[in-house]
């Protein structure tokens, strides 16, 4: 591959491939991360009411003012951050568009972008579309914690931006305050921009806290923070995400967004205004319900012989599959639907060159408990013959 022409065209994502396999085999889909249940009825009703009330034309480029206000208020309430609802918030077609727009806006051809590896698949595609070079810094199994010395030595004169994701997909690591402070100090020292993907900000389990990088010393002016309603309110199909930060950076993201979607989802934006008015009880109940499912999956997978490290956040668990005598996570996952009637994601697609330290697969637990139990029972039958 020479970095230009057809070889650089993005490939079909693993999520599309694996969800198609799930359908073909009527498998329990523990691959692509989308819940089976819809989000709260009052939020769905708010979007339906907005449609009936005629909110069906283009929204403003940056999003409807009520939603920008609600996003700003959410950042203030939870983190004491105060993005300007006028110029410091842009609503996007999911976090995916926010990531692409931020990278296209902030990365110049030849710039290096550092991301912790494994990383969400759109990062590499986004960096490449911007003409940049993604430099991976590995989170080592089994703990998957950031190694700050390794990060420091990956920074060069060409490094433009750090792309951070916490809580982290696919490993479930929640970066702690000390780790984030060290990342922030490095960003300040080397004058780097930071894009931080915090879509799982409310999926953090007991004993951990979500710390937004934008709130740490010296970070506000250099940081674009990205989140999405899809995860927090179980409405992934609505594709309402956002980027927040200083007007100077958010304005650049919005300028690129003009030529991606321009704007999208007017009635859904109204629905998310209602969603963001949820009290703390909603968010606590949401995380608690996932913590129970995490515990069920972690115990069930460990019992089957997967090497499991308990995720601290997100709705994913990354497992080692060495005990099955398998070398290749992709082959394992391609075979799994037929062998067990279950779909999972091989994490090698989240590594820059597909070169994984050990064969690994990711399972999601964003399904009702009976579905998770059915998935575990099928794995037991298919893998252990019991």
CB of 94 vs ligand GLN, minimal distance in Å: 8
Q: Could you count the other beta carbons within 10 Å of the beta carbon of residue 266?
A: 21
Residues near ligand GLN (CB under 6 A): 13, 15, 32-33, 169
From the number of C-beta atoms within 10 Å of its C-beta (0-12, 13-18, 19+), residue 15 rates as middle
Q: Is 196 in the site for ligand PMP (CB under 6 A)?
A: no
Using CB distances below 5 to 8 A depending on partner kind, what does residue 324 bind out of ligand GLN, ligand PMP, none?
none
From the number of C-beta atoms within 10 Å of its C-beta (0-12, 13-18, 19+), residue 16 rates as exposed
Which member of 63, 88, 94, 118 binds ligand PMP (CB under 6 A)? 94
Asked whether the beta carbons of 111 and 129 are under 8 A apart, the reply is no
Using CB distances below 5 to 8 A depending on partner kind, what does residue 309 bind out of ligand PMP, ligand GLN, none?
none
Asked whether the beta carbons of 234 and 33 are under 8 A apart, the reply is no
Q: Is 120 in the site for ligand PMP (CB under 6 A)?
A: yes
CB of 102 vs ligand GLN, minimal distance in Å: 17
Using CB distances below 5 to 8 A depending on partner kind, what does residue 95 bind out of ligand GLN, ligand PMP, none?
ligand PMP
**Which residue's CB is nearer to ligand PMP, number 165 or number 266?**
165
Q: Is 169 in the site for ligand PMP (CB under 6 A)?
A: yes
**Which residue's CB is nearer to ligand GLN, number 15 or number 351?**
15
Contacts for 306 with CB less than 8 Å, ≥ 6 apart: 319, 320, 321, 323
**Which residue's CB is nearer to ligand GLN, number 100 or number 214?**
100
Is it true that the peptide bond before 142 is cis, omega within 30 degrees of 0?
yes
Number of helices and strands (H, E) in the chain? Answer: 13, 13
**Which residue's CB is nearer to ligand GLN, number 15 or number 79?**
15
Determine the Cα–Cα distance for residues 102 and 115; give it in Å rounded to an integer: 14
Q: Is 96 in the site for ligand PMP (CB under 6 A)?
A: yes
Q: Could you count the other beta carbons within 10 Å of the beta carbon of residue 253?
A: 28
CB of 234 vs ligand PMP, minimal distance in Å: 12
CA 117 to chain centre: 13
Which member of 230, 271, 313, 346 binds ligand PMP (CB under 6 A)? 230
Determine the Cα–Cα distance for residues 68 and 17; give it in Å rounded to an integer: 35
Residues lying near ligand PMP in the complex (CB under 6 A) are found at 33, 94-96, 120, 165, 169, 197, 199, 228, 230, 236, 239, 241
């Amino acid at each position: 591959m020479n970095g230009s022409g057809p070889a650089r065209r993005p490939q079909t994502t693993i999520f599309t491939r694996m969800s198609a396999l799930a359908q073909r085999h009527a498998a329990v889909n523990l691959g692509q991360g989308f819940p089976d249940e819809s989000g709260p009825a009052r939020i769905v009703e708010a979007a339906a009411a907005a449609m009936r009330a005629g909110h069906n034309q283009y929204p403003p480029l940056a999003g409807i003012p009520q939603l920008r206000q609600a996003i700003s208020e959410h950042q203030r309430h939870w983190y004491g951050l105060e993005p300007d609802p006028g110029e410091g918030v842009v609503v996007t077609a999911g976090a995916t568009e926010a990531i692409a727009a931020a990278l296209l806006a902030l990365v110049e051809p030849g710039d290096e972008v550092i991301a912790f590896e494994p990383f969400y698949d759109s990062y590499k595609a986004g960096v490449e579309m911007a003409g940049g070079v993604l430099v991976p810094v590995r989170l080592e199994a089994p703990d998957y914690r950031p190694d700050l010395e390794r990060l420091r030595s990956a920074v060069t004169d060409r490094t433009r931006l750090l792309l951070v994701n916490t809580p982290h997909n696919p490993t479930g690591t929640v970066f702690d305050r000390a780790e984030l402070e060290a990342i922030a100090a490095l960003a300040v020292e080397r004058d780097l921009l930071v894009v931080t993907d915090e879509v799982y900000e409310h999926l953090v389990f007991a004993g951990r806290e979500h710390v937004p990088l934008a709130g740490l010393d010296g970070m506000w002016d250099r940081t674009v923070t990205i989140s999405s309603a899809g995860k927090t309110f179980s409405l992934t199909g609505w594709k309402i995400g956002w980027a927040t930060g200083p007007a100077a950076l958010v304005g650049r993201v919005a300028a690129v967004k003009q030529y991606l979607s321009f704007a999208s989802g007017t009635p859904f934006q109204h629905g998310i205004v209602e969603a963001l008015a949820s009290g703390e009880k909603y968010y606590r109940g949401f995380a608690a319900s996932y913590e129970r499912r995490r515990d069920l999956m972690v115990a069930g997978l460990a019992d089957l012989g997967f090497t499991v490290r308990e995720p601290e956040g997100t709705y994913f668990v990354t497992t080692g599959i060495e005990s099955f005598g398998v070398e290749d996570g992709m082959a394992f996952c391609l075979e799994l639907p037929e062998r067990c009637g279950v779909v999972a994601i091989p994490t090698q697609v989240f590594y820059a060159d597909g070169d994984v330290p050990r064969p690994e697969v990711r399972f999601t637990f964003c399904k009702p408990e009976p579905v998770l139990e059915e998935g575990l029972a099928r794995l037991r039958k298919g893998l252990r013959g019991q």
